[in-house]
Amino acid sequence: MYDGILRRPFLFEHWHKGFVAALAIWLPAFSVATWAELGTEAAVWVASGVSCVVVLSVLTYREGFSLNTTTQQYRSYIWVAGLRFGKWQPLPPVSGLLLRPYTTTHFLPTTAGKSNITRLNTPAPTTQMGLVTREYKWQGLLQVKDSPIGIITAYTDYEDAVCIATKLATVTGLEVATAHA
């Protein structure tokens, strides 16, 4: 049996959204608690409790991968505050393990909220301003016959990808291959 982390979110972007969501949910929670006539102090505590649940779920969020060789099943799941959400699937015949480089680009536009069309029948601008960052990671793959990609076991840096592949090779008895960029 193997159970490990598939991917952790791009932290700053993910945490930023979580804290904004917690702040955005605080006011409606406060309004509902006030409407229920709990009193101002109790309403603050209720709204803060709801916001803390949102922040906790954001801070503990990650994606995982499990492989059970005795039942020949695998799953990709979401892990939030100790709870796993994912469905077990039958494991197809696997021919090997592959590590390969993987790049993700994150783009944050600086012109958010502005219309791309200034006048009717005027084309949108061809240049969009924003911040770009690239994440260079490695994918761990279980190679499956007749599948162009296979089953993804990890998105992580090289050292962690090698460690995960070694653990999976021990469990499955498969060889590990590395595709270099």
Domain edges within the chain = 1-91, 92-181
Coil, helix or strand at residue 57: helix
The pair of three-digit structure tokens given for residue 119, joined into one six-digit string: 């006048």
The residue with tokens 């990609």 is 149
Q: Which residue has the tokens 């653990």?
A: 167
Cα separation, 24 vs 67, in Å, equals 38
To which H or E segment does residue 126 belong?
A: none
Instruction: Give the residue carrying structure tokens 């101002």.
Output: 40
- Determine which helix (DSSP H) or strand (DSSP E) holds 153, and give its type and residue range: strand 151-156
Reported as a pLDDT band with limits 50, 70 and 90, residue 37 is confident
Most confident region among 3-7, 16-20, 92-96 by mean pLDDT: 92-96
> What dihedral angle (degrees, nearest 10) is formed by the CA atoms of 66, 67, 71, 73?
80
Name which residue leads in pLDDT, 23 or 172.
Answer: 172
pLDDT digits (tens, 9 = 90+) for 83-102: 889 999 999 999 889 999 98
Question: Which residues on neighbouring strands pair with residue 11, listed in sequence order?
Answer: none
pLDDT higher than threshold 60 for residue 6: yes
**Confidence check: pLDDT of 129 > 90:** no
> Which residues lie closer than 8 Å to 50 by C-beta, 6 or more apart?
25, 26, 29
For range 70-87, the mean pLDDT? 90
Span 121-142, mean pLDDT? 76
* Global pTM value: 0.65
Instruction: Say whether 116 sits in a helix, a strand or coil.
Output: coil
